[in-house]
Amino acid sequence: MIKRITVEQLRLGMFIHELGCAWMDHPFWRKTFLLDEPKDLQIILSAQIKWIKIDTAQGLDVANASVADVGGDEDRESVTETVAITPAQDAPVAKTAQRRSVSQEAAQAVKICAKSKQAVASMFGEARMGRALNCDDALPLVEEISNSVLRNPDALISLARLKNKDDYTYMHSVAVCALMVALARRLGLNEAQTREAGLAGLLHDIGKMMIPMEILDKPGKLTDAEFAIVKNHPSEGHKMLLEGSGVGEVALDVCLHHHEKVDGTGYPEHLGDQQISLYAKMGAVCDVYDAITSNRPYKSGWEPAESLRRMAEWRNGHFDQRIFEAFVRSVGIYPIGSLVQLKSGCLAVVIAQTTNSLLTPMVKIFFSTRANCRIQHEIVDLSLAGCQDRITSFEDPAKWGITDIHELWSGVADTSW
């Protein structure tokens, strides 16, 4: 039986079915759990939560507490709502959302990144300790990420790329989730399929929790023996998901097969093009893009545009061509954060995609190559009919001594989440 109670009635031993707040305001990453830790009770009592739903079939009922604890029968009737228990329903991916600019969505994306890091770190940490996963707990996170991508696909995807080396494993999962959602929408998948793709992206690297930390975070080149251990992570992750609950076939497939290549040289099963599913092909592209654009313990990430150029060189053997082309359309030929030189001789950073053409994004001009100095920022939409400027080349920020490229496009100086 599900009962709605006031926060004052909450006691250790009760099973939390729902906290009366949005997931982003939720003090925990999991949406349902047994309240068995005093510190968790104090966190709830100190939070801005007015009501809670408990599941009396899995934990204590209000009636198990003393009358002094919950008040008299008359008071109890006024604050306790009993409802019939029904199977939990997956939160749907939003069908529509008001479109926002990158700058408008960036503030919310920062909050989602911070909460997502906490959630994935907790979930993966529990997996490392051998606790079985309940994938339903991850659905609110997937929904938040999906809704942000719907409002503006560039903000969260670009911000999640700015992970630091220590957070790579967790934020990589968040970034791949967002990339999978954006790619699914680009491919025209329906809402249920998009949600499955997002969940698969979030869980695709769960098997890395079975890799010793000294190997996972090794700053130098791996030995052959160490790389063999790393290559086991798809199979280990697949086993972990099978032992959990709430996991679907898409997440299982992507977890096991996101390192397969269309030419059959991937792992763990050396599948060929026709043997690899649509979702696994999507996972392969999203996984590689975020990996090579991110700072790792052993190397710095490539710039987004350079990453796409290199991926284009690999695509015949590594990626499905149709999937890769759709992916490029979803992130743009000049992805957010790319440094470009314009015909006018100015340097600019790409801050948004436009609907007219992948070749004419919106940019923020900030540097004159002729004067070799910074200039007053100017935002220019290269897709406008009267615009005379155009992109002539990609540029390396290091070549020009530009160290704040991320802050220039995102407005976010601290990306430690």
- The pLDDT tens digits of the residues spanning 245-296 come to 989 999 999 999 999 999 999 999 999 999 999 999 999 999 999 999 988 8
> What b/e string do you get for 181-205 counting C-beta neighbours within 10 Å, with b at 16 or more?
bbbbbbbebeeebbbbbbbbbbbbb
The total of structural domains in the chain comes to 3
User: 170 lies in a domain?
Assistant: yes
pLDDT of 300 reads 82
Q: Do 309 and 367 belong together in one domain?
A: no
Map tokens 């350079």 to a residue.
306
91 closest CA partner among 205, 245, 246 = 246
Query: Over the chain, what is the mean pLDDT?
Result: 86
pLDDT, residue 413, reads 60
Q: What is the mean pLDDT of residues 166-174?
A: 88
At residue 31, the pLDDT reads 77
pLDDT of residue 415: 56
- Copy the structure tokens of residue 376: 């007053």
Whether residues 147 and 55 share a domain: the answer is no
Between the CA of residue 394 and those of 62, 251, 304, 360, 416, what are the distances in Å? 64, 36, 10, 13, 27
Residue 203 sits in the same domain as residue 324: yes
pLDDT confidence tier of residue 97, bands split at 50, 70 and 90: low
Contact 411, 102 (CB under 8 A): no
* In a domain? residue 283: yes
Highest mean predicted confidence (pLDDT) among 102-106, 195-199, 295-299? 195-199
The pLDDT, as a whole number, for residue 327 is: 96
> Do residues 318 and 366 both lie within one domain?
no
Identify whether 352 is part of a domain.
yes
Q: How confident is the model at residue 81 (pLDDT cuts 50, 70, 90)?
A: very low
Contacts (Cβ under 8 Å, ≥6 apart) of 336:
102, 154, 157, 158, 304, 350, 351, 352, 353, 409
pLDDT at 77 (0 to 100): 37
Q: Are residues 350 and 317 part of one domain?
A: no
Q: What is the mean pLDDT of residues 65-88?
A: 37
* Type and span of the H or E element at 58: none
SS3 278: helix
Are residues 318 and 346 both part of a single domain?
no
Assess whether 138 and 209 both reside in one domain: yes
Percent of the chain at pLDDT exceeding 70: 90
